[in-house]
Amino acid sequence: MSTRATRLLRLLDQLHRRRHPVTGAWLAETLGVSLRTLYRDVDALRAQGAAIAGDPGVGYVLRPGFVLPPLMFSPEELEALALGARWVASHADPELAGAAQQALDRVAGVLPDTLRLQVETSGLFAPLWQNAAPAPEPWVAMLRNAIREEQVLQLDYRDVDGEVSTRAIWPFAMAFLSDKRLLAAWCELRQDFRHFRADRVLALHDGGRRYPQRRHELLRRWRAHCLAQRATTP
């Protein structure tokens, strides 16, 4: 992709992220161009059909409903997409792994020939060494769905000491490490945030209800909780 095309895409991306008008001066500084170049780029995008409202000295905003031109990626973005999809295809549960490969194939299938070749011949890989492979965990797909749908789960769990407990949890995040899967959830039994290993789950059932808070709120509280714990750790 040419330097000018890359710059125009970055400008569209900046506008797409913001709901309120931003000044030309701010955009120019963010993109590392002169104000005159910024004005020319805005005019160029408008000529290509971008619905950009605003004027110099007032600010610019991308009108609702405008979609970024599809599949315009820099070489680094394509490498990141390919590597990320290959990591998921190697490390995630079969359902998510298949979805990652399908997504990568779909992107590659509609790219221009030169960009598709970059994806198909990318030299970045994420192989899963056999000695690092986690044991099969039938719960992962259900956990992912519960996170997405903000569903309460009934969990039978064996902790590190071998103690078994049954508890209702509000799952909101999961980490895919090389040798294990970690679930972050609010535990109704403990009335606190807890982390669970998927390979220690004994049984998992739909709790039949949505948890009362939104996932993003739980994530915000969890991050604050983790930061507070770090601050008090010697």
Q: Which residue ranges form the domains of the chain, and what is each CATH number? A: 3-62 (1.10.10.10), 75-128 (no CATH), 140-232 (2.30.30)
Residue 230: pLDDT band with limits 50, 70, 90: confident
Mean pLDDT value of segment 39-54? 88
Residue 48: predicted pLDDT: 78
Question: What are the tokens at 37?
Answer: 């170049």
Please give the structure tokens belonging to residue 176. Answer: 């895919």
User: What element of type H or E holds 47?
Assistant: helix 35-47
Asked whether residue 1 carries a pLDDT value surpassing 50, the answer given is no
Please give the average per-residue pLDDT across 103-109, as a whole number: 81
d(CA 95, CA 98): 5
pLDDT at residue number 35: 92
What is the DSSP pairing of strand 181-187 with strand 192-197?
A: antiparallel
Q: Over the Cα atoms of the chain, what is R_g?
A: 23
**What is the distance between the alpha carbons of residues 206 and 196, in angstroms, rounded to a whole number?**
17
Distances (CA, A) of 193 to 155, 159, 198: 14, 15, 16
Of all residues in the chain, the percent with pLDDT exceeding 70 is: 91
106 pLDDT band (50/70/90 cuts)? confident
Q: pLDDT of 151-169, one tens digit each?
A: 999 999 999 999 999 999 9
